[in-house]
Amino acid sequence: MALEAGRVPRFERARSTARSASPSAERPDRTRTLLLDFALLLLGLTVVVGIGSLSSQMAVSFHPHAQLPGVDLNPLLLPYYAARSSLRMFIALGISLTIAVAMGSLTARSPVAERLVLPLVDVLQSVPVLGFLAVIVPFFIGLFPGSLLGLESAALFAIVTGQVWNLIFCYHQSLRTIPAELREASRVYGFTGWQQMVRLELPASAIPMVWNAMMSFAGGWFFATQSEAISVNNSNYILPGIGSYVAAAIAQQRLDCVLWALLMMLLLIVVTDQLFWRPIVTWSEQFRLDTNSAAAPSHSWFLETLQQSELLRQLGQWLASYLLPLGASLNRWTRSRGRDGPAPLQKQEPRWVDNLVVLGGAVATVLACHHSLEQVGLGETLKAFGQGLLTFGRVLAVVGGSTLIFLPLAVLIGLRPRWAALLQPV
């Protein structure tokens, strides 16, 4: 059938319209992508330069007998103090995660390590490390003579001790609860030890580790603020940070400065949640094993922005190709374990380890009692024991009260996604 004069087929009109509209439609998207890449590049350079500048100030010259500069209570300097405290927190978090992965892997694979290390970790997490700063600080100052890195290391040590124990237990439990089907599949496919770690264990533990890291990070703020103003042997050591700022404001009875510091802390918590924790929580959802979960998926505007960046996509591809030889080397290095499959988690616990732990604990108890009776006497020993029971009672009361109050509150918030989205930063 002949076409009428002046008539253009419908599909031809659509094609010509698409061709004419395509450049104008792509131009705004291209411009938006370029602006987004430029903004992210500027943000990344600012963060890198800031970290480099703050890190260099952590290793300046320092002498124990020299007088350190005091804290300036000018509120305009609060962003600088907040940045110094935040850098310590993130460095300590990285150290804690590294230790947790190493110790959690060891205890999950070795029943001997599990029976020895986990009780030790349980005891260490109850030790009031801040009370031992008088011993820790001189040790680190002697380890880095003439450098402020000694005091910074002591502060990092205090923060790590407030974060790492919970992460060790979390990673250990995550490895022990990986479904047997996934373990068997990794052996069938001949995963090396490195592949077992990066393709099974780390993804399977991603969600609980992210949430526990968030909780550990929040709890670490107490240790960070306390370790920035230290008194040892009649000497006051002050590290620039939010904690030392608040301590100086309280000492000078500057309530206005304390309020400014609290406002900065709230702002810092919100910024950290939106730019760091919320994107990581959303990203970790892809590793959820229970695909039938009724929980509402989390969203992060910042993660969605990062995923739209062409610059970050190309940077990720370059980084993956750069790290590919390293991954191949690690695969070859761990292939001896991968031939028959990675070492399975051993379930049978050797009884001799339990006997050794009981015997060692009994010997240590006898020696401690003998030393206490010889040095301080029976009366002081019983007094210390009674005070320990009082402390235990206070801790038990606080834990019980907190559970009764906050567990129902957590359930109430968790069942309401809108409440959870609003109250999670708090």
pLDDT at 421 over 70: no
The answer to which of 6-15, 156-165, 179-188, 395-404 has the lowest mean pLDDT is 6-15
Question: Which of 180, 404, 129 minimizes the C-alpha distance to 289?
Answer: 180
Q: Which two tokens stand for residue 262?
A: 């609290």
Give pLDDT, residue 18.
43
- The fraction of the chain above a pLDDT of 90, given in percent, is 35
Domain 47-288+300-310+323-337 -> CATH class? mainly alpha
Summary mean pLDDT of the chain: 83
Cα gap 371→369, rounded to integer Å = 5
Q: Where are the domains of the chain?
A: 47-288+300-310+323-337, 351-426
Give pLDDT, residue 417.
74
Summarize pLDDT for 358-394 with one digit per residue, the tens: 788 788 888 888 777 788 788 888 888 888 899 889 9
Residue 357 contacts residue 116 (beta carbons within 8 Å): yes
Q: Between these two residues, 379 and 207, which has the higher pLDDT value?
A: 207
Summarize pLDDT for 111-121 with one digit per residue, the tens: 888 888 888 88
Q: Which two tokens stand for residue 235?
A: 């000497």
Mean pLDDT of 301-307: 92
Question: Which of 163, 154, 135 minimizes the C-alpha distance to 226?
Answer: 154
Q: Between these two residues, 188 and 342, which has the higher pLDDT value?
A: 188
Q: Between these two residues, 308 and 70, which has the higher pLDDT value?
A: 308
Confidence of residue 293 (pLDDT cuts 50, 70, 90): low
pTM score, whole prediction? 0.82
Q: Hey, which residues does 147 pair with through a beta bridge?
A: 61
- The fraction of the chain above a pLDDT of 70, given in percent, is 85
Q: Between these two residues, 194 and 354, which has the higher pLDDT value?
A: 194
Confidence of residue 276 (pLDDT cuts 50, 70, 90): very high
Give pLDDT, residue 119.
85
**Residue 113 carries which side chain, given as an amino acid letter?**
A
Mean pLDDT of 18-25: 47
Summarize pLDDT for 142-172 with one digit per residue, the tens: 888 888 898 899 899 989 988 999 999 999 9
Residues in contact with 68: Cβ distance below 8 Å, sequence separation at least 6, in sequence order = 62, 236, 237, 238
Q: Between these two residues, 8 and 107, which has the higher pLDDT value?
A: 107
Mean pLDDT of 126-136: 75
Phi/psi at 65 (5° precision): -90, -5
Question: Which of 342, 347, 291, 411 minimizes the C-alpha distance to 177?
Answer: 347
